[in-house]
Structure 1
């Protein structure tokens, strides 16, 4: 191309139409180059375009369950056993007695399970229908916890409504002491008591904090009287020979008219009434749970 041809081409490219043609040509040439490059390499083989793998999603960890708080147990409740006078009583060192022993609690042999026989100066056995008496002691002032290591003194009338060392001076039967075990329980073998004139059938109980303290009635921290159930009394007192006078005296008294039990509510008296099973011929087993308020600390 001579100088004149170069000059003419420059003039032509300055026009807008020429520039558009030139840009279009360049764009076409670039596209062809790209297709040629993607379609094959220098040897004619297809070019593989690497594909980036899609990452596997990692599951989010499951949240650990929040542990529920351990519920606080509700305090146990129990009907507080009504208390009675702890002293003075004949034969426990606190009151006058006509018997041979003024204080049976300091006598050797008072700690025993079977209280049917006398053990001081006599070995006579009190006649009557056999009774196995099971007492459980718990503290109403400490969530009804079992009370262990306490001494329980039990005494009651014979089949005819008489007391040893008092109205039967020469005898020491139907009296004894036991210590509560790890579950707060004691057991006595005795007889069904008779009926005193003007009193509902009952059994005396005095409680001491230790066996060592159970040597005089004044050391008792609690005393009460157990109530015999009506059906048991009705069945037992039908034997008018062994239980002479008991049937008549029982028919003349009620819990409401009793000078001791009549002051308490139905619920309170129910809490110290024996739950008994058995027969007159085979004897009875009776259970009762006493719940005095002995304070928070035992």
Structure 2
């Protein structure tokens, strides 16, 4: 996969991401009247992450070459053990632990046609690379692993959560997490139909902190050579609906929150 080898000045992370991706006029449309104030404060120079989450349909994106859902080679969805919250270890014949900075992902799914009401009882299949940029089931050395993949049911708030690690930045892509939404766990483990396929983007300021730690050394250079605006997935003006709000620390771990409409 090709990538832009030029270096970019990325500023201060989430604040600059939002400046690029949402104008003041767009804030009211995207976040609603209540959330717009928080967004506009960020646009005005506050270093705090906006409290609001987008209430708009998340764009459909490619599943990429390593989905593990049977559409491109191996299929993990019908394997016993795939329905789980903690996706750090492989399951089945291997119990290998994917090491890295702890990350909890809370993905809240809403139904656009129902005024963005929580989608209860749906299922999210989530997967991403490890701290070396490898995808289990595909990459050299981890073909026999299935870590960092799992299905979780959305709760009464429409939220599916996962305990995982912070993914690497690899050449050609901005740090991201893949997901597919299904109408139920039953449909997910039976391979569909898929309601939505998309990706979650991680803010630069947090990525920089994580990639300064042991095990992520290659990610520093890869992050410096990429940007949200040049990424082949996130470079359109819909990326504001895919940028997670991330809180926490390297010492205690991070929490990524994203609310999406389907």
**Coarse TM-score class (shorter-chain normalised):** 0.7 to 0.9
- State the alpha-carbon separation in 2 of the partners of residues 176 and 223 from structure 1: 15
Question: After the TM superposition, which residues 56-95 of structure 1 pair with which residues of structure 2 at under 5 Å, given as runs?
Answer: 78-85=55-62, 89-95=66-72
Structure 2 counterparts to residues 185-224 of structure 1, below 5 A: 185-215=159-189, 217=191, 219-224=193-198
Q: Aligned residue for 1:230?
A: 204
Distance 2:191 2:62 in 1: 11
* CA-CA distance at 1:90 after TM superposition: 4.1
CA contact (8 A) 2:106 2:161 kept: yes
Q: State whether residues 198 and 253 of structure 1, in contact with CA within 8 Å, keep that contact through their aligned partners in structure 2.
A: yes
Check if 1:254 corresponds to 2:231: no
Distance 1:176 1:213, change over 3 A: same
Q: CA deviation at 1:204?
A: 0.2
1:270 aligns with 2:240: yes
Q: Which runs of 5+ in 1 are unaligned?
A: 1-73, 97-101, 293-298
Q: Does 1:173 align with 2:147?
A: yes
Partners of 1:288 and 1:231 in 2: how far apart? 17
Residue matched to 1:291: 261
Inter-CA distance 182–280: structure 2 relative to 1 (3 Å threshold): same
Contact 2:63/2:178 (8 A) holds in 1: no
With the length of structure 2 as denominator, give the TM-score of the two structures.
0.75
Q: Structure with the greater relative contact order (CA < 8 A, sep ≥ 6): 1 or 2? A: 2
SS of residue in 2 equivalent to 1:212: helix
- Bigger-Rg structure (1/2): 1
Contact 2:102 2:254 in 1 (8 A): yes
SS at match of 1:134: strand
TM-score, structure 1 normalization: 0.67
- Checking the alignment, whether the CA contact within 8 Å between 2:123 and 2:160 is kept in structure 1 is no
1:136 corresponds to 2:108: yes
Structure 2 counterpart of 1:153 = 125
Q: Does the CA contact (< 8 Å) of 1:138 and 1:147 recur in 2?
A: yes
Which has the higher mean CA deviation after the structures are superposed, 122-131 or 270-279?
270-279
User: Does the 8 Å contact 2:125/2:152 carry over to 1?
Assistant: yes
Q: How many residues align?
A: 209
Give 1:89-108 correspondences, 5 Å limit.
Answer: 89-96=66-73, 102-108=74-80
User: How many angstroms does 1:78 deviate by?
Assistant: 2.2
Aligned CA-pair RMSD: 1.9
